[in-house]
Amino acid sequence: MLEAKAVTKSFGSLVAVNNVSLAVAPGELRAIIGPNGAGKTTFFNMITGFFPPSSGEIVVEGRDITRLTAQQRVELGMARTFQITEIFPELTARENVCIAVEVASGYRLRPWLSRAARTRVRERIDEIIASAGLTKQADRRVGELSHGDQRAAEIAMALALKPRILLLDEPTAGMGEQETFHVASLIRRLHKHSGYTIVLIEHDMRVVFNLADRITVLDQGSLLAEGTPTEIADNPAVQSAYLGSAK
């Protein structure tokens, strides 16, 4: 589904990501973890087209997308969320999703919509708002919502793009217990019930070990380990990277 082949990114003399490969199967939920500065977000940014890799290849469903722009990747079905929630704060949750739905339906340059198209858009918005669990908050400005609901709104916008791959950059960053649980169950629902292929970066280990099918561990820009949650938990290299080498 999504494949990275020997991807490297250097900024000047700093090698942020060094020769990392991974392959995500359709329907899989893959977590990318690693200590701070491990290159997780840099790696993510290359997958989503924020900037191109210095070398290596990124392939989605057999197609080389290494040089495509972010917008072209969105059209191929890759939708992302950001570490710091990126939403339209002064608009309501419904308006946020509406913009995403209209763009995804190819209406972005339309000066008007037919009644039928408007009805379709409205139904799709309701459906997405419901699947993100935002029905009650739909008409409030998203800037006023709780952190967890803002994240849900951001994910809802990503869903509106009918993505084949959802890329979530630290979806529970900066959240309390309750909110983390709320967002984690939303992700689980999207994975288990709606069958989305999801790649996520995450700091909260409980979230990672509860949700992920497979885990990729990065450390100092390189691939340290990959495997199922149990394999990763038992891996001595991972333990030392996280706990510091106990010589």
Partner 1 sequence: MSTTTADTVFERPAQRSWLPTVAIWVVLLTVPLWLPWIGGYTALAGRVLVLGLAAMALNFLLGFTGVMSFGHAAYFGLGCYGTGLTLKYLSDSTPLAMLVGILLGGIAGTVFGALIVRRRGVYFAMVTIAFGQICYYVAYRWNSLTGGDDGLRGFQRQPLHIGNWIIDIQNNPVLFYYFIAAVFAVCIGLMAFLLRSPFGRTLLAIRENERRARFLGIPVERHIWLSFSISCFFTAAAGSLYALLNNFADPMTLHFTLSGEIVIMAVMGGMRAFWGPLVGAAVFVVLQDYISSMTVNWMSFIGLLFVLVVLFFPRGLLGFVRAYSEK
89 lines the binding site for partner 1 (CB under 8 A): yes
Structure tokens at 197: 């292929």
- Judge contact between 187 and 168, C-beta under 8 A: yes
Q: Which helix (H) or strand (E) holds 112?
A: none
- Judge contact between 35 and 242, C-beta under 8 A: yes
Question: Closest separation between CB of residue 237 and partner 1, Å?
Answer: 34
108 lines the binding site for partner 1 (CB under 8 A): yes
Of residues 3 and 95, the one with the C-beta less far from partner 1: 95
- Compute the Cα dihedral for 225, 227, 230, 231 and give only its sign: negative
Rounded Cα distance, 74 and 69, in Å: 9
90 lines the binding site for partner 1 (CB under 8 A): yes
Candidate segments 12-20, 32-40, 94-102, 129-137, binder of partner 1 by CB under 8 A: 94-102
Rounded Cα distance, 43 and 80, in Å: 13
- Judge contact between 84 and 33, C-beta under 8 A: no
Question: Closest separation between CB of residue 42 and partner 1, Å?
Answer: 16
Rounded Cα distance, 18 and 217, in Å: 13
- Judge contact between 92 and 138, C-beta under 8 A: yes
Of residues 28 and 169, the one with the C-beta less far from partner 1: 169
Question: Closest separation between CB of residue 208 and partner 1, Å?
Answer: 24
Residues 33-62, interacting with partner 1 (CB under 8 A): 48
Q: Which of 5, 38, 175, 11 is nearest to 154 (CA)?
A: 175
Rounded Cα distance, 110 and 143, in Å: 27
In the set 1, 23, 113, 205, which binds partner 1 (CB under 8 A)?
A: 113
92 lines the binding site for partner 1 (CB under 8 A): yes
x/- track of binding to partner 1 for residues 146-185 (CB under 8 A)? --------x--x---x------------------------
x/- track of binding to partner 1 for residues 57-86 (CB under 8 A)? -------------xx--xx---xx-x---x
Structure tokens at 61: 């469903």
112 lines the binding site for partner 1 (CB under 8 A): yes
Residues that bind partner 1 (CB under 8 A): 48, 70-71, 74-75, 79-80, 82, 86-92, 94-95, 98-100, 102-104, 107-113, 118, 121-122, 125, 139, 154, 157, 161
